[in-house]
Chains A and B, each alone.
Chain A
Amino acid sequence: MRHVYGWLLLLPAAVLLIGFTHYPAAATLLDSLFSSGTVVRPSRFVGVDNYAALADDPIFTQVLWNNFWFALGTIPASIALAMLMAIWVNDRLAARTLVRMAYFTPTILPMIAVANIWLFFYTPQIGLLDQLGALFGAPSHNWLGDPHTVMGCLVAMTIWKEAGFFMIFYLAALQSLPPELEEAAKIEGASRWYFFRRVTFPLLMPTTLFVLVNATINSFKLVDHLFILTKGGPNNASNLLLYYIYQVAFSFFDTSYAATLTVILLLLLATLALVQFQLIEKRVHYR
């Protein structure tokens, strides 16, 4: 009886989960083994041809590198800032509530709105960056149109968007640390920096690992801003894997190749999931 009850309760959720997660994941894998059908040429089985095409696709290689640089640019910087913010806000700081609110506010804004605002900063001539540059006599620069600066622009914006979100996890961790530690350090005459380096930082390590994995997953899913700022350009210099999938599927209408790219993305996410699972196991172990 309990079996029947259990499954009945689960049924509605299970139908939707299978329909929009497991089935499409499996269908994507299957689809990647077929060619894209057209009106005149129906889809046919091509084995691993689509995967072989990945190796010959320079854009694919480029978006993977872009994803790598995007992750490397955003993650360490936003984690470091998040830690700093949390330590400040956890302290007896004047106007602490206001400061904490300022740090966290970008988190609740949609990426589209953020991109709209930041687009103005990067606009040549009238944009804030160029106006500031002009004060120092710097020439006007097309920040988003230059392949050398476009990624930096996206990275700066994403750090701004994410640091405050990661801050709250550090804040939670800091509040769970016993206050005796700091008192003891004070009696011993340890400097704030020494205390951070030898006590706080190591104790925050589980949080850092947790944030690290989440940030990495996010770096693969975060592409909304590209729709406003660059559309992946110039010349794919700011294109990311998920945005490329969108382009291949809905601009080039090559659904089989889009499926192949999706399989790669799923593999990357699955690897990260395994890493995260290991970390959670460890965390439970410590407790």
Chain B
Amino acid sequence: MNAGRALETAAAWLLAFLWIAPLLYAFWAAFHPAALATHFDPLAPLTLDNFRKAWTYAPFARHLLNTMILVTMILSAQLVLCTLAGFAFARFDFAGHDIAFGLVLVQLMVMPEVLIVENYRTMARLGLVDTILGIGLPYMASAFGIFLLRQTFKTIPRELEEAARVEGCSMLGVLWRVYVPLARPTYLAYALVSVSYHWNNFLWPLVITNSVNTRPLTVGLAIFGAPESGVDWAVISAGTLMAVAPLLVAFLLFQKQFMQSFMQAGIK
């Protein structure tokens, strides 16, 4: 019995090592000279050269800035739009309520990246091709966010709302002073999921951008890492680590919140 347990523990650790190994390898390659990146010699000298090269080969600073603008813009718009819509669905019995809600949920399946061809056309008509707004706009009304906030708002007792109304609060005042503060955990969970998603999103940003000034990190990294670019492994690894570092560090610091958010987000 105990031997079995020990064996299972060993297997769990082995699997954990296997799972983290690709990332460890990337660290290894990034901190060693290119010639030694593929030889696992524990005494190989460490270097920061690869990071310096990656930083100059590709406009990383610009890509990083673009990504930060992008995720901030998307998240702020999402928070406002989804709060309003979620409130409408949770507390207003307007005509066409159920049909409208059904139509909103369609977006859970048909994410904007599935409709790249038509959405590209729309952006061309709006003159938003190759703009950061063009990358973000299709994602700002998020069915997932609306759904999540509607569920949360529904659990808030109506008595609280009525008390606030008696005190003379307006409709939006009630939303702002009663509903939003009570839904704080949901907002946090949603924010983490949204930021991770858009930090990592690739296909739509690739389609809609064509210049350094708008390309986010993922697209920049894809161009940088392409074998045709002739950049060596060590430098690609360094670039890859730089692109994932902010999110990775955030994850390592707030592990529990991340996992709980992803879980809450998935289960709905």
Residues in chain A within 8 A of chain B (CB atoms): 2-7, 9-10, 12-17, 19-25, 27-28, 31, 81, 84-85, 88-89, 93-95, 97-114, 116-121, 126, 128, 131, 160, 163-165, 168-169, 171-172, 192, 210, 214, 217, 221, 223-224, 227-228, 242, 245-246, 249-250, 255, 258-259, 262, 265-266, 269-270, 272-273
Residues of chain B lying within 8 A (CB to CB) of residue A105? 19-20, 23, 248, 251
Residues of chain A lying within 8 A (CB to CB) of residue B258? 104, 108
- Whether A9 contacts B117 in the complex (CB less than 8 A), given A20-B122, A169-B266, comes out as no
> Taking each of B94, B138, B218, B258, which has the highest tally of chain A beta carbons within 10 Å of its own beta carbon?
B94
The answer to whether B113 touches A221 (Cβ under 8 A) is yes
Known contacts A20-B122, A224-B202; 12 additional CB pairs below 8 A are A5-B92, A9-B84, A13-B85, A19-B122, A31-B118, A95-B13, A102-B20, A105-B23, A113-B221, A117-B23, A164-B19, A269-B114
The answer to whether A99 touches B12 (Cβ under 8 A) is yes
Residues of chain B lying within 8 A (CB to CB) of residue A116? 221, 225, 236-237, 239-240
A37 to chain B, nearest CB (A): 12
The binding surface of chain A is classed by DSSP as helix
Residues of chain B lying within 8 A (CB to CB) of residue A31? 117-118
Determine if B72 is an interface residue (Cβ-Cβ < 8 Å): no
Residues of chain A lying within 8 A (CB to CB) of residue B262? 107, 165, 168
The answer to whether A110 touches B25 (Cβ under 8 A) is no
Q: Which partner residue on chain A sits nearest B95 by CB separation? A: A3
Determine if B143 is an interface residue (Cβ-Cβ < 8 Å): yes
Q: Which partner residue on chain A sits nearest B114 by CB separation? A: A265
Stretch at the interface among B96-104, B154-162, B183-191: B96-104
The answer to whether A108 touches B247 (Cβ under 8 A) is yes
The answer to whether B17 touches A262 (Cβ under 8 A) is no
- Whether A120 contacts B25 in the complex (CB less than 8 A), given A5-B171, A16-B137, A104-B259, comes out as yes
Determine if B65 is an interface residue (Cβ-Cβ < 8 Å): no
B250 to chain A, nearest CB (A): 9
Could you list 21 A-B pairs, sorted by A, with CB under 8 Å?
A16-B137, A22-B103, A25-B106, A28-B118, A105-B20, A105-B23, A108-B247, A110-B199, A112-B200, A112-B222, A112-B225, A113-B244, A114-B22, A116-B225, A119-B225, A128-B25, A160-B19, A214-B266, A228-B222, A242-B114, A262-B115
> Taking each of A118, A160, A168, A192, which has the highest tally of chain B beta carbons within 10 Å of its own beta carbon?
A168
- Whether A110 contacts B202 in the complex (CB less than 8 A), given A6-B93, A105-B20, A169-B263, comes out as yes
- Whether A108 contacts B248 in the complex (CB less than 8 A), given A5-B171, A250-B207, comes out as yes
Residues of chain B lying within 8 A (CB to CB) of residue A224? 202-203, 218
Residues of chain A lying within 8 A (CB to CB) of residue B11? 88
Taken together as a complex, chains A and B put the C-alpha atoms of A224 and B221 apart, in Å, by: 12
The answer to whether A273 touches B109 (Cβ under 8 A) is yes
Residues of chain A lying within 8 A (CB to CB) of residue B109? 217, 269-270, 272-273
Q: Which of B206, B240, B252 contacts A101 (CB 8 A)?
A: B252
> Taking each of A13, A112, A131, which has the highest tally of chain B beta carbons within 10 Å of its own beta carbon?
A13
User: What class of interface size applies to chain B in its complex with A?
Assistant: 35 or more
Residues of chain B lying within 8 A (CB to CB) of residue A270? 109
Nearest 7 Cβ contacts at the A-B interface:
A6-B94, A6-B92, A24-B118, A110-B200, A16-B141, A9-B88, A20-B138
B176 to chain A, nearest CB (A): 13
The answer to whether A28 touches B117 (Cβ under 8 A) is yes
Residues in chain B within 8 A of chain A (CB atoms): 4, 8-9, 11-13, 15-17, 19-20, 22-23, 25-26, 29, 38, 80-82, 84-85, 87-89, 92-95, 97, 100, 103-104, 106-122, 137-138, 140-141, 143, 146, 171, 196, 199-203, 206-207, 217-218, 221-222, 225-227, 233, 236-237, 239-240, 243-244, 247-248, 251-252, 255, 258-259, 262-263, 266-267
> Taking each of A10, A164, A171, A249, which has the highest tally of chain B beta carbons within 10 Å of its own beta carbon?
A10
Residues of chain A lying within 8 A (CB to CB) of residue B263? 168-169, 171-172
The answer to whether B84 touches A12 (Cβ under 8 A) is yes
The answer to whether B225 touches A10 (Cβ under 8 A) is no
Q: Which of B13, B107, B252 contacts A17 (CB 8 A)?
A: B107
Taken together as a complex, chains A and B put the C-alpha atoms of A160 and B255 apart, in Å, by: 19
The answer to whether A24 touches B122 (Cβ under 8 A) is yes
The answer to whether A227 touches B112 (Cβ under 8 A) is no
- Whether A168 contacts B259 in the complex (CB less than 8 A), given A14-B141, A20-B119, A105-B251, comes out as yes
Taken together as a complex, chains A and B put the C-alpha atoms of A245 and B81 apart, in Å, by: 31
- Whether A10 contacts B88 in the complex (CB less than 8 A), given A112-B221, A116-B221, comes out as yes
- Whether A112 contacts B92 in the complex (CB less than 8 A), given A21-B110, A104-B259, comes out as no
